[in-house]
Amino acid sequence: MSLFRNIVFAAVIAGLLSGLLLTVMQSFSTVPLILQAETYENAAPEAGHSHEAAPAAGATAPAAADHHHDEEAWMPADGFERFIYTAAADVLAAIGFGLVMIAGAEALGGFGGWRGGLLFGIAGFLTVSLAPGLGLPPELPGMPAAELGPRQIWWVSTAVCTAAGLGLLAYTRSAVLAALAIVLLIAPHLVGAPLPPSHETAVPIELHARFVNAVYATNLVFWAALGTLAGVIRERFRAGEDVAVRSSTELASR
């Protein structure tokens, strides 16, 4: 259990720090653009935050048809409460990504310090930000999109294929496996992401362009920080692991 405990510990610390860094970066870059887009999302008679608009407004605006919220569902109040929930979601997602990344790195022989951690972080950015983003660019509220389910399936499949492709490129030396890696990297984009029937939206294209840039920039810094921190912290906390290995080899030699 010491390996599990140590990885969870490293992932929680690295995820907490990098998630908070991401939240700070987002509150200056992506979140203001999201709030601005929400004013277009429901350009209904009743001004203000779209999520509070009457259900009829969501039904009449074609661009917002995909973005209908259940009126009964709870949501955080704008301002500080919303910021806190965004921070919590960022930190949780960062811890989750950290757990998967450290487990993957350990299975492949470990980070080997901050530099290896940084490389794993960049691989994480390619896997869950850049590659899925090529087919499903970061969306602002109020933008048309295909059904949620197929998009999530395409997103997850693309991330899995990209991770496998990058792993093969980095950890194997045969030409056949390198070719397979290229196929894995390209295949999701040949299949193509589910697209909306119409791209018409009230959100200005300039706003969306700035949002896409901001998402990639913040996520690259976040992943670099998460990977580097995970590499450093993982090296420092190995309590109990050597003992466990020694005792199991002792048992084997008996």
Partner 1 sequence: MVTKSAATAVSVSTSKIIPLSMTALLGLFVVGFVGFSHMEVVHNAAHDSRHSFAFPCH
Q: Could you tell me which of 201, 37, 222, 6 has the C-alpha nearest to residue 121?
A: 222
DSSP string, 202-221: SS-HHHHHHHHHHHHHHHHH
Dist CA 23 CA 31 (whole Å): 9
Of residues 86, 162, 201, 228, which one binds partner 1 by CB under 8 A? Answer: 86
Q: For residue 85, state whether it binds partner 1 (rule: CB under 8 A).
A: yes
- CA pseudo-torsion sign 172, 173, 175, 176: negative
Q: For residue 79, state whether it binds partner 1 (rule: CB under 8 A).
A: no
- If 0-12 CB within 10 Å is exposed, 13-18 middle and 19+ buried, where does residue 179 land? exposed
Among 178-186, 200-208, 227-235, 243-251, the segment contacting partner 1 (CB under 8 A): 243-251
Taking the complex as a whole, how short is the minimal distance between the CB of residue 52 and partner 1, in angstroms?
Answer: 12
- Per-residue tokens: 47: 């001004």
Taking the complex as a whole, how short is the minimal distance between the CB of residue 72 and partner 1, in angstroms?
Answer: 8
Give the nearer residue to partner 1 in terms of CB position, either 95 or 185. 95
Taking the complex as a whole, how short is the minimal distance between the CB of residue 61 and partner 1, in angstroms?
Answer: 13
Of residues 47, 108, 182, 195, which one binds partner 1 by CB under 8 A? Answer: 108
Of residues 109, 192, 198, 254, which one binds partner 1 by CB under 8 A? Answer: 109
